[in-house]
Structure 1
Amino acid sequence: MSSSDVPRDALSRSLVIAVLGFLLSIAVIDEVAASNAAVALSDASSRTIAVPQWLYLATGGAVIGASAILASVVTDRSFIRSMHDWQKSVPMWVPIRRGALYLAQLLGVAGLAIVIYRGFVGPQIPTVNVAIILVFGGVRAGLTMVVYLVGNVWPALNPWRTIARRLPTLGRAYPSRVGRWPAVGGLLLLVWLETVMPVNKVPAMLATAICAYTVITLVGAVVYTPESWFSNADPVSVTFHFYGQVAPLRWSADGVTLRPPGFDLRESGAVATTADIAFVVALIWELTFSGFVTTATGVSFITAVVDAGVPPLVVYALLFVLGYALFLGAFRFASRVTRRTGETYLPPRTIALRFAPPLLAIAVGYHLAHYFGFFVSLLPSLVPAVVSPLSPPANPVVLTLPEWFGGLVIGFVLVGHLLAVWVAHSQAYATFPSRLQAIRSQYPFILVMIAYTIISLWLVSLPTASPAFVS
């Protein structure tokens, strides 16, 4: 389809978006230091990664242009539908599936026991204690990447789910009006504790936190049944559930289904309530928050505010709560603006539910940008920890990342953004009957996505530092 087939009004609006977005990227990126360590809440790699400023400007402009093109030029509904309908199913022999499930359950329970045991009795040195390495290098970074790059294996690995299914249950009905709000609060609380408490540096404290989490989780699963609890209230399970929506593989009792990454987001129904929207935005915000407080700029800002007389924990709390409110408010505001730009009678809540799934692609790109380098640098310590968890190495090895890793960091953020824009584009054509409505409806959300992406690019460009007052 040629550009002449696209309404001039739509093209003009796209040009406005491109110009505004590019100017915004220049305004933000112009003050960026050209170095970065692509790690979060970790000292795994102390060497910074050089990222030239021209590369940020070029990639930022490319993202803006690609967003405008996708929103206004790729308008063939049959082409979009055919792209998202493609899938391939592969059956799995039942004995193999059952054997893999039992093995995963055994590994999950054994891993939980080892983390708690070694957290208390192992050496209280984070770089050699298997509890720290497994939780932050193995689960926080590695397993999360497996979930969104391959498929959600957490339901099989989840040790608390395995234990809860073997306990008696009271079978009380989970309150539907509560939905996933406990998971939203739980995720934000876990991120807060990870930031203000040295659970990633003191193995005994990490083991204590996991014990408390175990008690709360098992009590909730016994009261409300494991299915209800892990589907709604458990923040770890819900996190992996949403990340798994981007993965190319879907596991079922019949076998495995392959689809292009993220292409199932449009019709998966993963985001069905307001709490789901809040959780998806929280996934983006928690990475943004942890990324900011571990940069030299973030440390300087927090130090300046504390020097003005504000207690450190109050500064972190205000930054955490107000930042999340801003991210969530920006997305909800975009849904209200879309009601006008799309000239539709759909309520803003319905529009928000339709356009929230693409944000998962941004969260995936941001997580990969922050944790891929961390995972690679920690891999020489992670492998021995998994092979022999009871005998830590005397001299742990941590890799120093080469400078070209900076290009990967940028690429991860931008690929996540482009996938999000494409999914939003296809969702618009599935929601609105008019081509002009579908094009116009995307503008507010594209601007919000651009803002998220620019903030991500800015943060990964900054030199890292230990969080002030809480490290």
Structure 2
Amino acid sequence: MPGTIQAHGLGGAKDLPIPSELAIAGAVAALVVSFTVLAVAWREPRYDGRTTGRTAPAWLDRLVSSRALAVAARVAGMVFFLYVGAAAVFGKDSLTNPFLGTFYTLLWVGVVPASLLLGPFFRAISPARTIAMAFARISGVPEGQGMYAYPARLGYWPAAAGLFAFVWLELVYPHSTDVGPVRLWCALYLGIMLVGSALFGTTFLARADPFEVYSSLVAKLSIWGRREDGTLVLRSPLANLATLEARPGLVGVVGVLFGSTAFDSFRESTPWLKAVQSMSVTRVLPDTLGLIVFSGGVIAILTVATMATGVTSSTPRRALPDLFAHSVVPIIVGYIAAHYLTFLVEYGQLTLIQLSDPFSRGDDYLGTADLQVSYWLSGHPTFLAVTKVLAVVLGHVVGVVAAHDRALALLPRRHHLTGQLPLLVAMVSFTVGGLYLLFAA
């Protein structure tokens, strides 16, 4: 019904009218065949972000690098932030408030296609970054600097914690669709980002802002990149993905993103619902534990698979999980597409309609109040099923290619094949588990 938030567009098996066994078997076969072909035909690493890529036209580089475009993006981001913020503060506490749809749909899900098409989209419009830059300019602090240097050992771990806080709010907290708690979460997020940027500069935002890190990870699968000298280039998504710099906590970020999406499917499955109902507790505790297990499980599988190989003395085993974590990014994007596709398309349209009436008074500020939501995707379940399965399989195949290329660059030649077998096993387990949950939800 209009005005309600569905289960992220995933209607379960009724939306997937193809045999689950066939889909899982086909996906596993695709991974094994891909690995075999790569092992035979791909003997040397091919992706080097320092040299790959075709130089973009000079006019496009000037436009993208121009201060005018940067200012326009920041102004647009702040205007939209203030507009939605007004709805959060002065709007009604109901599902018709566009603040909720903006937070859960346009921000969390919409940032994925935006980053795939445009690059690090959220970084360009981030209200936290804009406010931090404005404070720095007013106080006379050099842009990007803080009181202290950001500790390198923290890496992306603060972003992983922020992402976990978001998915806990979305998936576990029983009042996640009440305006008040979501508004409080956003206020805390903004406060932490501003304090952190004052202490550690904009490096803190690049490492700790959950939405900026999320967007920047996905942007590595876009065709847009820059060489070390700052030149704008167009290159293949795999070459762009190889430029992702491994830092502590990267495995935690991908673990939370992938694990939470898998848990979102599992939490509405019949076995889990029966198990929760058999406990004499509210769903908060078991769901929290389930979210931790799924996120931690992805981290553990990836860690064990990457460390179970021979390495040279120049690459310690403990560094391997973060060095290979980039190969999970395509898998995450594939599952996000499969899991949230209907939710983004259909509830995203409803959110755009609701944005015209932010205070639920019958206003039509944006001229979209009279539009109607198209439920074409829900009306074509076979197309939807094929699209979801293809997204998952394609994500895993791209992940295998990325892991293979990184393995050739890191592992000794004698371990080029055997060293990748644990990674293949991990990829197959991710595929089987993910597709099973997609069908069984």
TM above 0.5, yes or no, is yes
SS in 2 for 1:338: coil
Report the CA distance shift for 1:84/1:399 in structure 2 as closer, same or farther (over 3 A): farther
**Cα distance in 2 for residues equivalent to 1:345 and 1:40:** 50
Range with bigger deviation, 302-311 or 441-450: 302-311
**Cα distance in 2 for residues equivalent to 1:303 and 1:290:** 16
Range with bigger deviation, 142-151 or 384-393: 384-393
1:164 to 129, 132, 135: 132
Deviations 1:256-293 (A, max 9, x none): 32111132233x142232x1222222221121122322
**Cα distance in 2 for residues equivalent to 1:364 and 1:52:** 22
Letter aligned with residue 221 of structure 1: S
Does 2:269 match 1:296? yes
Letter aligned with residue 105 of structure 2: G
Structure 1 residue 149, shift from structure 2 partner: 4.3
**Cα distance in 2 for residues equivalent to 1:271 and 1:429:** 16
Structure 1 residue 71, shift from structure 2 partner: 4.3
Structure 1 residue 383, shift from structure 2 partner: 3.7
Matched residue, 1:102: 71
**Cα distance in 1 for residues equivalent to 2:178 and 2:349:** 21
Structure 1 residue 176, shift from structure 2 partner: 2.9
**Cα distance in 1 for residues equivalent to 2:49 and 2:247:** 23
2:260 to 276, 286, 292: 286
Does 2:203 match 1:228? yes
1:371 to 336, 340, 344: 340
Letter aligned with residue 155 of structure 1: R
Report the CA distance shift for 1:432/1:399 in structure 2 as closer, same or farther (over 3 A): same
SS in 2 for 1:358: helix
Matched residue, 1:259: 235
Does 2:405 match 1:426? yes
Report the CA distance shift for 1:84/1:363 in structure 2 as closer, same or farther (over 3 A): farther
Matched residue, 1:28: none
Range with bigger deviation, 215-224 or 246-255: 246-255
Structure 1 residue 209, shift from structure 2 partner: 2.1
**Cα distance in 1 for residues equivalent to 2:124 and 2:339:** 26
Matched residue, 1:142: 110
- Aligned pairs (5 A) from 1:342-361: 346-361=315-330
- 8 Å CA contact 2:116–2:222 kept in 1: the answer is yes
Letter aligned with residue 296 of structure 1: S
Matched residue, 2:290: 319
Q: What is the CA RMSD across the aligned residues, in angstroms?
A: 3.1
Does 2:389 match 1:410? yes
Report the CA distance shift for 1:57/1:453 in structure 2 as closer, same or farther (over 3 A): closer
Report the CA distance shift for 1:239/1:123 in structure 2 as closer, same or farther (over 3 A): same
Structure 1 residue 62, shift from structure 2 partner: 2.8
Structure 1 residue 331, shift from structure 2 partner: 1.5
What TM-score, normalized to structure 2? 0.84
- 8 Å CA contact 1:115–1:207 kept in 2: the answer is no
**Cα distance in 2 for residues equivalent to 1:211 and 1:272:** 28
Report the CA distance shift for 1:272/1:206 in structure 2 as closer, same or farther (over 3 A): closer
Range with bigger deviation, 380-389 or 39-48: 39-48
SS in 2 for 1:228: helix
Letter aligned with residue 116 of structure 2: Y
SS in 1 for 2:232: strand
- 8 Å CA contact 1:249–1:257 kept in 2: the answer is yes
Structure 1 residue 105, shift from structure 2 partner: 0.6
Which stretches in structure 2 are left out of the alignment for 5+ residues?
none
Structure 1 residue 450, shift from structure 2 partner: 1.3
Report the CA distance shift for 1:196/1:396 in structure 2 as closer, same or farther (over 3 A): farther
Letter aligned with residue 403 of structure 2: A
Deviations 1:153-195 (A, max 9, x none): 2111101100111114662232333332222212112211222
- 8 Å CA contact 2:102–2:351 kept in 1: the answer is yes
- 8 Å CA contact 1:71–1:442 kept in 2: the answer is no
Letter aligned with residue 210 of structure 2: P
1:271 to 230, 233, 246: 246
Report the CA distance shift for 1:377/1:84 in structure 2 as closer, same or farther (over 3 A): farther
Task: Among all aligned residue pairs of Structure 1 and Structure 2, give the percentage whose two residues are the same amino acid.
Answer: 22
Matched residue, 2:55: 89
Report the CA distance shift for 1:237/1:83 in structure 2 as closer, same or farther (over 3 A): closer
2:305 to 305, 321, 334: 334
Letter aligned with residue 31 of structure 2: I
Range with bigger deviation, 355-364 or 141-150: 141-150
SS in 2 for 1:257: strand
Matched residue, 1:29: none
- 8 Å CA contact 1:44–1:398 kept in 2: the answer is no
Report the CA distance shift for 1:418/1:329 in structure 2 as closer, same or farther (over 3 A): same
- 8 Å CA contact 1:182–1:232 kept in 2: the answer is yes
- 8 Å CA contact 2:172–2:288 kept in 1: the answer is no
Matched residue, 2:280: 309
**Cα distance in 1 for residues equivalent to 2:292 and 2:63:** 48
Which stretches in structure 1 are left out of the alignment for 5+ residues?
1-38, 464-471
Report the CA distance shift for 1:121/1:418 in structure 2 as closer, same or farther (over 3 A): same
**Cα distance in 2 for residues equivalent to 1:303 and 1:103:** 52
Deviations 1:225-282 (A, max 9, x none): 2x1220222222222222222222126895632111132233x142232x12222222
Letter aligned with residue 187 of structure 1: L
